[in-house]
A and B are shown apart, each in its own frame.
Chain A
Amino acid sequence: QKEVEQDPGPLSVPEGAIVSLNCTYSNSAFQYFMWYRQYSRKGPELLMYTYSSGNKEDGRFTAQVDKSSKYISLFIRDSQPSDSATYLCAMSLGSGANNLFFGTGTRLTVIP
């Protein structure tokens, strides 16, 4: 079993829809949770960064962490064609640990 599971999609939604992207994980020691957006042939771009359980909002993006269920989500409101990309969840153990554990990425297409 992988430490981080993410549905690879692809996921297609109409413009303006609410998008829900999710990851589950098995290691309860993960403390920091991140979402990256990667456009084709580009490096990943950090979108959201949260510590422990709870919600964090930034514009149209909301990150949600439920440590009791080992489940994290990224919601995108009013999705735009420019949101079309691959979204990677990542998490780390904290306490100075270097490694990030990535999901496989979900490929999202927002149709105009």
Chain B
Amino acid sequence: GAVVSQHPSWVICKSGTSVKIECRSLDFQATTMFWYRQFPKQSLMLMATSNEGSKATYEQGVEKDKFLINHASLTLSTLTVTSAHPEDSSFYICSAKKGPETQYFGPGTRLLVL
């Protein structure tokens, strides 16, 4: 199997606070993980690529100081939304790369910033 978990599944926070989302590959090791954002009825938007032991690579337009990514081990990557604002409210999904080209996705984290 290839199971990816995310925690929390949903979070509500006040504007200005920081929120950390964890992504874990449960039954395989992943040197590369990805963070996506998805708006209602839209496809996935890649935010950044996270490589174990090195700095994340961010897509154009994604603020690296706002969306902090840490890939400290082969099974864990974290995304921290710093100083969250209502416009950061979204569905955040991580994936982990297994094998040459396949990505397995987590269940997603729904963030609501009040």
Using CB atoms and an 8 Å cutoff, list the residues of chain A in contact with chain B: 31-32, 34, 36, 41-46, 49, 88, 92, 94, 96-100, 102-105, 107
Whether A32 touches B105, Cβ cut-off 8 Å, given contacts A41-B91, A44-B44, is no
* A44→B108 CA distance, assembly (Å): 9
Instruction: Report the nearest A residue to B102, measured CB to CB.
Output: A49
Of B60-68, B69-77, B82-90, B93-101, the segment with at least 4 beta carbons within 8 Å of chain A is B93-101
* Interface positions of B (Cβ within 8 A of A): 2, 4, 6, 32, 34, 41-44, 46, 49, 91, 93, 95, 97, 100-108, 110
**Other-chain contact of A44, B42, B49, B93, B110 (Cβ < 8 Å):** B93
Q: How many A-B residue pairs have CB under 8 A?
A: 52
Residue numbers in B under 8 Å from A102 (CB-CB): 43-44
Contact status B101-A32, CB under 8 Å: yes
Interfacial chain A residues near B4, Cβ < 8 Å? 43
Q: Which one, A45, A98, A103, A107, contacts B32 given CB within 8 A?
A: A98
Which listed residue, A45, A96, A107, touches B105 by the CB 8 Å rule? A45
Asked if residues B49 and A98 are in contact (CB atoms below 8 Å), the reply is yes
Q: Which residues of A contact B103 (CB under 8 A)?
A: 46, 100
